[in-house]
């Protein structure tokens, strides 16, 4: 009786699809593979995220280092600029002090001589001064139209400093001092010295021009015309040549 009952139960379960002894559920292979892929993707994403963070960190560090370098360079440039400005101020102060010393020297050593309007024979305008100091004082006398005193100063300059690099200029302004004082014969002689003793001087064209002027004022028309024409021919691109041409036109219009 019992056996029949068991058989009936088994038959009913078989027909109804029920299991008498349930077995463990088996996983879907496709789902397993998908889960594996998902885990791999998540792992890759974590790696990529970590690498991106590392790169960003490195880039930030590099930018910070670059900023520090630029700041350092800016500070260095600012420091150098301040030092340069300081050095320039110091140089200017030194130069100003030297000029003031020279001015005091001129007043003390040569002031009484220059103010008196006389320069004793053999006396420099700045006794004991350099060639440049004495040249500058003599040139100032020309600008002040104190031509006799300037001529004396340049004469003594040339005696005392015959080898000075300013000798050609001094010779020219000596002649110019005579010319400005209407002493044309003396001016002519001294302008000719510029040409003969300093043939490479930049003052030669102007000296030639003034030789022409001197001859004109001395009414030596042919000599004046010849010299002025020489200025035009030998120094065509100079101011002296232009002035020579104007003087020649003047002579032509005057009929001399």
Mean pLDDT of the chain: 80
Based on the fold, state whether residues 217 and 236 are members of the same structural domain.
yes
The predicted pLDDT at position 142 comes to 94
Residue 4 falls inside a structural domain: no
Last residue within a domain, chosen from 93, 116, 139:
116
pLDDT higher than threshold 70 for residue 185: yes
DSSP state, residue 238:
S
190-217 pLDDT, tens digit each: 999 999 999 999 999 999 999 999 999 9
SS3 call for 125: coil
Q: How far is CA 50 from CA 45, 53, 192, 235, in A?
A: 8, 5, 94, 83
Residue 98 falls inside a structural domain: yes
pLDDT higher than threshold 60 for residue 25: no
Q: How many alpha carbons fall within 13 Å on the CB side of residue 86?
A: 6
* Residue 187 or residue 54, greater confidence: 187
At which residue do the structure tokens 């302004």 appear? 173
Based on the fold, state whether residues 43 and 69 are members of the same structural domain.
yes
Based on the fold, state whether residues 108 and 130 are members of the same structural domain.
no
Residue 21 falls inside a structural domain: no
At which residue do the structure tokens 């002027």 appear? 213
Based on the fold, state whether residues 70 and 85 are members of the same structural domain.
yes
Q: Over range 60-84, report the average pLDDT.
A: 70
Based on the fold, state whether residues 173 and 51 are members of the same structural domain.
no
**Parent domain of 89:** 35-116
pLDDT higher than threshold 60 for residue 109: no
pLDDT higher than threshold 60 for residue 2: no
Based on the fold, state whether residues 131 and 219 are members of the same structural domain.
yes
**Percent of residues, the chain, with pLDDT higher than 70:** 69
DSSP state, residue 24:
P
pLDDT higher than threshold 70 for residue 83: no
CA torsion angle 8 12 13 16 (round to 10): 180
Task: Choose among 149, 133, 73, 122: nearest CA to 98.
Answer: 133
Q: Over range 157-182, report the average pLDDT.
A: 96
Q: How confident is the model at residue 227 (pLDDT cuts 50, 70, 90)?
A: very high
**CATH number, domain with residue 193:** 1.25.40.10
Residue 184 falls inside a structural domain: yes
The predicted pLDDT at position 62 comes to 79
pLDDT higher than threshold 70 for residue 108: no
Phi-psi region for residue 225, left (φ > 0), alpha (ψ -120 to 50) or beta? Answer: alpha
Last residue within a domain, chosen from 116, 134, 153:
116
* Residue 150 or residue 44, greater confidence: 150
* Residue 73 or residue 170, greater confidence: 170
Based on the fold, state whether residues 111 and 125 are members of the same structural domain.
no
d(CA 39, CA 162): 103
Is there a contact between 111 and 82 (Cβ–Cβ < 8 Å)? no
d(CA 94, CA 88): 10
Q: What is the pTM of this model?
A: 0.56
The predicted pLDDT at position 121 comes to 59
* Residue 2 or residue 184, greater confidence: 184
The predicted pLDDT at position 87 comes to 66
Based on the fold, state whether residues 50 and 96 are members of the same structural domain.
yes
d(CA 35, CA 193): 113
pLDDT higher than threshold 90 for residue 150: yes
Based on the fold, state whether residues 103 and 185 are members of the same structural domain.
no
pLDDT higher than threshold 70 for residue 78: no
Axis crossing angle, helix 204-217 with helix 221-234, rounded to the nearest 10: 160
Last residue within a domain, chosen from 78, 101, 116:
116
* Residue 52 or residue 4, greater confidence: 52
DSSP H helices in the chain: 2-16, 29-105, 111-116, 131-143, 147-160, 167-180, 184-197, 204-217, 221-234, 239-254
The predicted pLDDT at position 116 comes to 45
Q: Over range 142-161, report the average pLDDT.
A: 94
The predicted pLDDT at position 57 comes to 74
Q: Over range 92-120, report the average pLDDT.
A: 55
């Amino acid at each position: 009786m019992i056996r029949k009952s068991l058989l009936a139960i088994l038959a009913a379960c078989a027909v109804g699809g029920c299991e008498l002894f349930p077995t463990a559920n088996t996983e879907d292979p496709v789902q397993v593979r998908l889960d594996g892929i998902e885990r791999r993707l998540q792992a890759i994403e974590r790696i990529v995220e970590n690498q991106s963070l590392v790169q960003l960190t490195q880039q930030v560090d590099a930018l910070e280092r670059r900023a520090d370098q630029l700041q350092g360079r800016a500070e260095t440039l600012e420091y150098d600029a301040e030092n340069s400005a300081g050095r320039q101020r110091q140089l200017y102060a030194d130069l100003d002090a030297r000029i003031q010393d020279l001015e005091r020297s001129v007043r003390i050593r040569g002031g009484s001589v220059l103010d008196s309007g006389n320069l004793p024979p053999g006396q420099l305008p700045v006794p004991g001064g350099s060639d440049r100091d004495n040249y500058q004082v003599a040139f100032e006398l020309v600008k002040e139209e104190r031509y006799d005193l300037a001529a004396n100063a340049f004469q003594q300059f040339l005696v005392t400093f015959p080898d000075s690099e300013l000798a050609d200029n001094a010779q020219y302004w000596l002649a110019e001092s005579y010319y400005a004082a209407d002493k044309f014969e003396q001016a002519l002689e001294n302008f000719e010295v510029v040409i003969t003793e300093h043939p490479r001087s930049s003052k030669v064209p102007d000296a030639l021009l003034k030789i022409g002027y001197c001859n004109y004022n001395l009414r030596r028309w042919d000599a004046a015309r010849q010299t002025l024409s020489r200025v035009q021919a030998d120094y065509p691109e100079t101011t002296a040549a232009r002035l020579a041409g104007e003087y020649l036109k003047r002579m032509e219009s005057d009929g001399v």
